[in-house]
Amino acid sequence: MPTVQEAIEFMKTQFKKDVASNFKKKVVVQYNIGKTDPEQIHVIIDNGELQIVEGATDKSNAQVTFDSAESFYKVTVGELSGMKAYLTGKIKISGSQVLLQQFNKVFQD
């Protein structure tokens, strides 16, 4: 079964610094992964740099909650579209959807 750590490593390999540099302000996205006792990470893009931190933050611009590590992995690596995951209840989003769409472009080919 795929792990959260494998998804994080994939994110690091897909990071596009040139796209991230388009953000005028620091962007923080909180990920909650799993239903019971969720694993939490937050991803920060600031001045074109990527930082992935374990744990929660109270300073996020948006939050994405996944039903499982498997869903997080599949959406991260592109095996499952974010839209399909959202429509089937595998993820829940709070915060700016427009910001999240722009944020996701930092990790897409």
| pLDDT digits 0-9 by tens, 96-107 | 989 999 999 999
pLDDT tens by residue, 30-68: 999 998 899 999 999 999 999 999 999 999 999 999 999
Whole-prediction pTM? 0.92
The domain that holds 86 is classified in CATH as 3.30.1050.10
Neighbour order of strands in the sheet with 49-54: 49-54, 39-46, 27-33, 62-66, 91-95
Residue 88 covered by a domain? yes
Q: How many domains does the chain have?
A: 1
Which range marks the domain in which residue 43 is found?
4-104
Helix (H) / strand (E) element for 65: namely strand 62-66
